[in-house]
Structure 1
């Protein structure tokens, strides 16, 4: 009898299952694709997106994101403010801010502008003009004339040098029209006959002289309307328009009822906004009269009796009203306010209705001797 060993029970082999594939992550996506995606977001979301990863922060801080935004036409109006601030320890200096909306409130957010050999000196009230995503800082101020031109790139917050003016200037005025910068005044009396104004062609990067209008008056105000540059005397009694196509000044008989403007003002399309008699008014050359902007009671209620309007800005079609007032607790300091106003103006109507979207303090405390050096709406 043969002893057959008992065969061990057979074990069923378990089929090994592969773990499910991990979902794709942004780290596996090429940077150029991420740039294209992030460029389609509003810039207001960038502070939150920077917290996602170091790669996001690096991309959103690079010039590539702004170049991509400009290619697809996704640019936002961003207000840049430069304040001249006193400093007992290091002396007065310029500080840059942007108008932000943290937690739904308007606020002036400090901007770190990188210093370099191209950085302009801290000159107060050198003329500045916004050109797309850049700010041109032209000439000198106070007692110093200069031919220097510096450009702040608001995408990378870096300075670069631009071709010098032909004539040294201080406290000039500058305007943008058809991709050309017009700089008026600010030179000596002996230079006015040949160098009263200059025109900078952004395409060729060259300056050429602009003659003074055919009169001996002093032109203190200017504005761009309908493809022309207009200049006005102090009482607006004389007006000339420069036609860039014909390259000549022509006497302007329009703007009836404009009168003298000695308070902050700005232009939106074919309308002038200004503060007159403590109220915010608008002027359209078609009607030839100043009219009250309706719907701003909330702004008037927030202003104190010691307020001072320091700037009106056309910000992407909306009106920004910026004013300051004495601080209630700090006697040597002031507070800065800002109101954002959008408009509803029916066709063929002589009424202008404003809607106050936001109105609050944007700078809680600043020394009373501060100065507003620049305040411009830039596309970034």
Structure 2
């Protein structure tokens, strides 16, 4: 990504000038000539275009819109070794349905913007309506929406958003109904943790594993009670119970091992503002700083060398609805946050995005701010549901 000047995001409609009109006239013959090329050749050309520009291509014409959604294009990209990470952001406006956006290059002037993703058969999503109603995870080019049963859906459902065609499809439902579900991905398997109500009035922990390659469910033995928050660290699945005890899942022996007792790592699961990148767990502290978890010293450390990034919202104040982290394209972190808390009583708020390059040096984690800028203006109170990185 190219560096973008920081500053407030203001949507402006520029006046058409003689210069821009001339440029527009010049572009039309170029696009027309491209469209007249044989389809195979055109696919080879578009396959080499960075994924950040695909949204701009899709609004040029119907033919380009069809092409950027075609399986053939992504097969060519894969054969050429041109697969890239692409960011998808799920937002909820009030109590309405979820809306999807993707980080794209601006059509002019440089910089980046969150562009709306057109999804024809939009799937209902309960993420963000209540804690543990649903969860979203990404595997390859697919986003999985795992919903627990409610009054409208008698069984827990699983839907898959194909980020190539932007169409939802159904997947096999969860075998056992659970509450307070939390999902994590390891080795293309989705681990869904939650709790089940038993007839004796007690709640028992439940772990169900979905193999995304075979599209089948497995139910390992799970003995954790009263635990619903999960995260990954050092490439292993961890769960936190109501007492703050942290357990690691031993996949070979199918058991949970106690690894730590409150408070240092378990607290971040309540903030919803954390991610794992290259086997390191990162989160946002209460004072709005980025930090990482040192497993050798079992404590949090500030990310060193990070200069120029504004203070982030306290993730515990809004349960992580206003600041999100995700890994991106290897050793990079993308941070999204809103101005909801910093500009009270404003009818609008700005969503910002920052790209941070990460490095391990002398036993510490260092960060370098590549750029940050406003990428979307939304109604006040808009919440982040999830930020996911898919591979296209």
Instruction: Give the TM bin, normalised by the shorter chain.
Output: 0.7 to 0.9
Query: Match of 2:257?
Result: 250
Q: Deviation of residue 182 (structure 1)?
A: 0.9
Could you say which structure has the larger radius of gyration?
A: 1
Do structure 1's residue 93 and structure 2's residue 112 form an aligned pair? no
Q: CA deviation at 1:160?
A: 0.5
* Structure 1: unaligned runs, 5 residues or longer: 1-24
- Call closer, same or farther: CA 1:314–1:167 in 2, change over 3 Å: same
**What's 1:196 paired with?**
206
1:161 is aligned, of 153, 170, 194, to 170
Equivalent residue number for residue 299 of structure 2: 289
Q: Give the match's secondary structure for 2:219.
A: strand
SS at match of 1:120: coil
Question: Shift of the alpha carbon at 1:141?
Answer: 7.7
CA distance in 2, matches of 1:31, 1:148: 39
2:328 is aligned with 1:315: yes
Change in Cα spacing, 1:78 to 1:237, as seen in structure 2 (3 Å) is same
Cα distance change on mapping 1:81 and 1:26 into 2, 3 Å:
closer
Q: How far did residue 65 of structure 1 move?
A: 1.0
Superimposed CA distance per residue, residues 312-360 of structure 1 (whole angstroms, 9 cap, x where no aligned partner): 21222311222222375963443222211112332xx133221111212
TM-score (norm 1): 0.77
Q: Distance in 2 between matches of 1:52 and 1:114?
A: 19
Maintained 8 Å contact 2:354/2:370: yes
1:71 aligns with 2:79: yes
1:239 Cα offset (Å): 1.8
CA distance in 2, matches of 1:373, 1:329: 21
* C-alpha separation in 2, matches of 1:258 and 1:48: 41
Question: Alignment partner of 1:82: what SS?
Answer: strand
Is the counterpart of residue 280 in structure 1 residue 290 in structure 2? yes
Structure 1 residues 75 and 303, CA, compared in 2 at 3 Å: closer, same or farther? same
- Alignment-derived partner of residue 229 in structure 1: 237
In the alignment, structure 1 residue 331 sits paired with structure 2 residue 335? no
Secondary structure (helix, strand or coil) at the match of 1:373 reads strand
How many residue pairs match? The answer is 342
2:16 alignment partner in structure 1: none
Structure 1: distance between partners of 2:202 and 2:105: 45
CA shift at 1:95, angstroms? 1.0
How do residues 104-183 of structure 1 correspond to structure 2 at under 5 angstroms? 104-115=110-121, 119-125=122-128, 126-140=134-148, 146-183=155-192
1:260 counterpart = 2:267: yes
**5+ long unaligned stretches in structure 2:** 1-32, 129-133
> 2:29 corresponds to which residue?
none
What is the Cα deviation at residue 374 of structure 1? 2.3
**Secondary structure class of the residue paired with 2:52:** helix
Deviations 1:352-379 (A, max 9, x none): 22111121222223232x3322221111
| Paired position in structure 1 for 2:310 | 300
Alignment partners' CA distance in 2, 1:328 and 1:256: 32
1:340 corresponds to 2:355 = yes
In structure 2, C-alpha distance between the alignment counterparts of 1:113 and 1:374, rounded to whole Å? 17
Alpha-carbon separation, structure 2, partners of 1:351 and 1:83: 34
**What's the CA shift string for 1:198-225, capped at 9, x where partnerless?**
1112232211223323x54x32432234
Secondary structure of 2:222 counterpart: coil
- Is the Cα–Cα contact under 8 Å of residues 249 and 257 in structure 2 kept in the other structure? yes
2 CA distance for matches of 1:146 and 1:314?
32
Structure 1 residues 301, 242: CA separation in 2 closer, same or farther (over 3 Å shift)?
closer
How has the CA–CA distance of structure 1 residues 146 and 337 changed in structure 2, closer, same or farther, with 3 Å as cutoff? farther
TM-score (normalised: structure 2): 0.75
Change (3 A) 1:254 1:85: closer
In structure 2, distance between residues paired with 1:336 and 1:51: 23
Give CA deviations for 1:37-59 in whole Å, capped at 9, x if unaligned: 42233212435656887644542
How big is the shift at 1:62?
2.1
CA-CA distance at 1:189 after TM superposition: 4.8
- Kindly tell me: are residues 334 and 158 of structure 1, through their superposed partners in 2, closer, same or farther at Cα, counting changes over 3 Å? same
**Aligned-pair Cα RMSD in Å:** 3.4
One of 383, 387, 392 as aligned partner of 1:371: 383
The aligned counterpart of 1:12 is none
**Is the CA contact 2:264–2:299 (under 8 Å) kept in the aligned structure 1?**
yes
Quote how far apart the aligned CAs of 1:185 are.
Answer: 0.3
Mark the CA change 1:53 to 1:232 in structure 2 (over 3 Å): closer, same or farther. Answer: closer
How far apart are 1:227 and its partner, in Å?
Answer: 4.6
